Each structure stands twice: as structure tokens, then as C-alpha cells.
Amino acid sequence: MSRMRHAAAFAWVLAAVLALTACSDNTSALDAHGSEARHIAGLWWLMFGLAAGVYVVVAGFILVAAFRGRRREPSGSRLRPNTFIAVGGVVVPTLILLVLAVVTVTTTGALRKAGSDPLRIEVTGERWWWSVRYTGRAIVTANELHVPVGQQVQIGLDSDNVVHSFWVPELAGKVDTIPGQHNVLRFTAEKAGTYLGVCAEFCGIQHTHMGFRVIAESPGTFERWATAHASPPRQPASELAAQGQVRFQALPCAGCHTVRGTEARGTVGPDLTDFGSRATIGAGAVENTPENLGRWMQHAQSVKPGALMPNLTLSDNDVRAVVAYLESLR
């Protein structure tokens, strides 16, 4: 029957191994690339150590207590139950909990501390995508945040619809966007890379496809990106794309979407000013390829059922032209 104890111990080891190997992956909270996530991962390993110890000791007690009766005559116990309960149930747990209380308070303080000159970004949870505005810069985008490595980022979180939750496991813990309340999340990316984020609070039919990504890059690269994106996109280079721009404004598209510097000023759907540079369509529903974009425009409801983007009836020419136009926006 020590099999059971072994199984339990094995399970924990398995957890540890899997968590470690998961470092090759890119949504792991333990594969921290932000100072906040790193603090929390450190906290986790401390707790894991304590927890593993507690589990093995207590499970050991349980199994020994259950099986020792098989080997001995009754009434062979010198256990003093009151002392046993007081020590095991009160004294030892109190000590462990004190340790946890102290690290809770210190870590919480560290994570909530505001830096001196943070990059401010306003993020709004929409159904079911994220609107992104850079405070003090004329940059509006959706579902992708570019941030510089090494500088604290202060994200203001709002919603004018339902509750969402902004979570990039590799960078920081999550904070909800709550209608009627302005929340703040701070983190500092410590390594360049692309980090996937999700909505963590159930927010309706397409809660699943409300992904985003944080692209952390060197301060120089970030500044170049920011400068380029502060001005409206250049006029389309190809003839097809230019035709697409005209059609985009004539079709229902412009009623919901904005492309800065053009007649398209809708505010219902995501700003598409830099659409061509984004990795996905529909906040992570599908990869951003011309084929997928064409399908999205005509059959959004089968790509992302319930999305507020309707199925559009478009001619093949319109599809080709608008796809060329949107993919040219960078």
C-alpha cells in the first residue's frame, strides 16, 4: 500500500518536471520573462517546496496510521492525541502560514509598486478583442501590444461592456477590466520576445477567442515601431490595394472600423490601421493570411461564431481587393 504514497509523490515530481519542461513553451506562468511573473514564480517554488514536504509527511502519517494496525496487537499505542493534534494541527501549520503571510505581504508590495517613468498604455476589453491606445502617442491598435524591454509598463484597464481579465502568464498576474472602474496592471518585460495573452474572465460566447500578444523588444526597436505607427499608413502601393481602399470605404467595413488617415472612422470593431502587421485575425481565432482574411470577411460567423463581425456578401473582386488593401496596412 505504500504504492499509494509513491503515486502521490510521483505525481508531484511529475508536476515539477512538466512545469520545468514547459519552459520551452510560450504561455507558461513559470517560464517568467517579466519581473512580476518572476517574483510570483519564485513564490510558487517556495510554496511548492513547503507543499511537497507537508504532503509527504501528512500522507505518510495517514498511511502509517491506517496500516500499522495490521502488524501489531491492539492497545500498543503510546500516542498522546491532544499533543499530537496540537502540534500537527496547530503549531506546525501556524509556523508555515506565518512564512506564507510574510512573503505574501512583501511580494504584494513589490508587485504593486509604481515605477518612476512607466510607459502608459490604455487597454479596453471589448467583445471579444482588445483595444490598445498608447497614452501621449497617436497610436491605436488592437490585440497586440509592443513594449520596450526593461521599462515598466503601466496598463490602464477599462471596459464599457462586460468583465474581462487581462492575462499574460509569462509577464504578470491578471487584472480584470471592470465596467465603471479603472484598474491598473504594471509589469516590466525582462527579455525580448512575443508573449501570448488571453482573456481569463468568462465574458460571453467568444471568451475563448479573445487572445492577444505582447511583443517585447529592445528600446531602440520599440521607438522605431512607435514612431512609424504614430503616423497614418502610406497610400497603398499596388493598384489592387488602392482599389481595395476605395471598396473598403464604400462597403459596410468603414462603418465599424477605422483606418487612420482615411475616411474609415468606425469605432465598433478594432482599429485596422496596422492590420497587415498583426499575427492573427479575430483576436486569435485564425492566423493572419490572405486566405483566412477572405474567409473571415465572408464567413466570420463560422470562423468565430457569435462574433459581432457579420458575414458579408462580397464579390470575388471585392474580396481580393480589400484583402490586398488590409494586408498592405503596416
Query: Residues 68, 72, 74, 76: is their CA dihedral positive or negative?
Result: negative
φ/ψ of residue 317, rounded to 5: -65, -45
- Subset of residues 123 to 162 that bind other proteins, contact rule: CB under 8 A: 157, 160-162
Residue 293: exposed, middle, or buried by beta-carbon count in 10 A (0-12, 13-18, 19+)?
Answer: buried
Tell which residue, 182, 185, 184, 181, has the closest CA to residue 172.
185
Q: Which is nearer to other proteins, 232 or 306 (CB)?
A: 306
Q: Which is nearer to other proteins, 198 or 293 (CB)?
A: 198
Sheet containing 183-188: order of strands: 139-142, 130-134, 119-125, 152-159, 183-188
- Subset of residues 249 to 268 that bind other proteins, contact rule: CB under 8 A: none
In angstroms, give the least distance from the CB of 261 to other proteins: 32
Judged by CB under 8 A, the residue of 2, 13, 15, 234 near other proteins is 15
Judged by CB under 8 A, the residue of 2, 13, 49, 112 near other proteins is 112
Tell which residue, 306, 305, 325, 329, has the closest CA to residue 317.
325
Enumerate the β-bridge partners of residue 64: none
- Amino acid identity, residue 103? V
Enumerate the β-bridge partners of residue 167: 198
- Subset of residues 274 to 293 that bind other proteins, contact rule: CB under 8 A: 284
Q: Which is nearer to other proteins, 91 or 230 (CB)?
A: 91
In angstroms, give the least distance from the CB of 132 to other proteins: 19
In angstroms, give the least distance from the CB of 100 to other proteins: 6
- Subset of residues 51 to 70 that bind other proteins, contact rule: CB under 8 A: 51, 54-55, 58-59, 61-62, 64-70
In whole angstroms, what is the distance from residue 223 CA to residue 164 CA? 29
Q: Which stretch, 3-11, 240-248, 254-262, 271-279, contacts other proteins (CB under 8 A)?
A: 3-11
- Subset of residues 175 to 214 that bind other proteins, contact rule: CB under 8 A: 175-176, 178-181, 183-184, 196, 198-208
Q: Which is nearer to other proteins, 40 or 259 (CB)?
A: 40
Q: Which stretch, 75-83, 144-152, 234-242, 311-319, contacts other proteins (CB under 8 A)?
A: 75-83
Q: Which is nearer to other proteins, 165 or 243 (CB)?
A: 165
Judged by CB under 8 A, the residue of 13, 25, 224, 317 near other proteins is 25
Query: If binding is defined by CB under 8 A, does position 8 make contact with other proteins?
Result: yes
Query: If binding is defined by CB under 8 A, does position 216 make contact with other proteins?
Result: no
